[in-house]
A = this chain, B = another copy of it.
Amino acid sequence: MKNKALLMISLAGLLVWGCGGEREQVQAAKTTEVDAIEWKLVTSWPKNFPGLGMAPERFAKLVDEMSNGRLKIKVYGAGELMPAFEVFDAVSQGSVQMGHSAAYYWKGKTPAAQFFTSIPFGLNAQEMNGWLHYGGGMQLWEEVYEPFGILPLAGGNTGVQMGGWFNKEINSMEDLKGLKMRLPGLGGEVLKRVGGVPVTLPGRELYTALQTGAIDATEWVGPFNDLAFGLHKAAKFYYYPGWHEPGTTLEFMINKDAFSTLSPDLQSIVKIAARAINQDMLDEYTTRHVTALESLINDHHVIIKQFPDAVMKELAKVSEVVIREQSKQDKTMKKVYDAYMEYQVGVRKYHLISEDAYSRLRQ
């Protein structure tokens, strides 16, 4: 199905400033009829889901605008073309050209992927972006996805997540034993190590799982998304901070063969649109979490609780051990682990006298 779009390569009325500042009309109108390229993008989020699901929609809009309609990307929510967790295979096999998801969902394919979303007690949003774009992170990510024929791009960030919704108080490490909690990625592995039972479920199944008691607790994102899912109606306590995901990065995935067929300007447009959306999502979350939190507290009387310091300290220790151990089991994961940790040690030294020192002034 081709879309015979009438593309206005609209040089009509373009004006150029010459060296002397004079205006000069340089080109008459030119209209060329070309076929628009049509791509499919599948996501792991419900269609138009706030934040996560809007990022690919906005990405498609930017690409459409910048390419003057030459590249049309149609976005599908989870369950429309395929289930949430089949996105990776679909992009890899080329049955769709793009996906929007989170890399840690693919730990079964390649455990190193987990470092490109977020790891317990790891980098925050600003640091993840620094690592990915100037610290060698993106090159590693490309290497990790290379065997699957997928080109990854950072596709948004939620900031530090909330600790999650609990139907049980967490006062000590004892309370984590036997806790059935939806917690993907390495956070789940840490929970397992301290005696809990981690579960992976797509977002739209969380409410029911929590309400029916199939799980005792769940993390999702933060106030903005959690409110949209109504999780406050199914749990007693809302815990902070999200130690398990301190700067969750989302991902765009592009089938490499599809990408290679694009002209260089369209390739650049796709990459830069993703870069802009990567920041746009964090800007939106930073703002919308605020009013959502106010609503959760004032309208829904949610009880906000802080994890005890002793529990955080213990989980930080266990996390370090679990992540180191798991990384040893896979050569690629070990390589990414080493690079990530080196970056983390350095950036924390600097942030201790900059971002963190300023943050301390406000507490």
A283-B134, A290-B349 known; A37+B66 contact, CB < 8 A? no
Which stretch from A122-130, A181-189, A205-213, A328-336 is at the chain B interface? A122-130
Contact across chains for A21 and B362 when beta carbons are under 8 A apart:
no
Q: Contacts of A39 on B, CB cut-off 8 Å?
A: 17
A126 touches B357 (CB 8 A): no
A349, B21: Cα distance in complex, Å: 50
Cβ–Cβ contact A130 & B287, under 8 A: yes
The number of times this chain is found in the oligomer is 2
Partner of A127 from the list B35, B37, B40, B286 (CB cut-off 8 Å) is B286
Whether a CB of chain B sits under 8 angstroms from the CB of A133 is yes
* Contact of A360 with B363 at beta-carbon distance under 8 Å, contacts A261-B14, A278-B279 already known: yes
Given A160-B355, A269-B66, the answer on whether A361 and B287 have CB atoms closer than 8 Å is no
By the criterion CB–CB under 8 Å, are B290 and A347 in contact? yes
Q: Given A293-B349, A361-B316: A240 and B354 within 8 A (CB)?
A: yes
A306 contacts B by Cβ under 8 Å: yes
Q: Is residue A241 within 8 Å, beta carbon to beta carbon, of the partner chain?
A: yes
Q: Is A165 an interface residue (CB 8 A)?
A: no
Interchain CA distance A223-B354 in the complex, whole Å: 11
Expressed in whole angstroms, the Cα–Cα distance for A2 and B37 within the complex equals 32
Q: Which of A276-290 contact B (CB under 8 A)?
A: 276, 278-280, 282-290
A67 within 8 A of B: yes
B-contact bits for A107-131, CB 8 A (1 contact / 0 none): 0000000000000010011110111
Instruction: With both chains docked as a complex, state the minimum distance between the C-beta of A293 and any C-beta of chain B, in angstroms.
Output: 5
Question: A306's contact among B10, B294, B353, by CB below 8 Å, is which?
Answer: B353
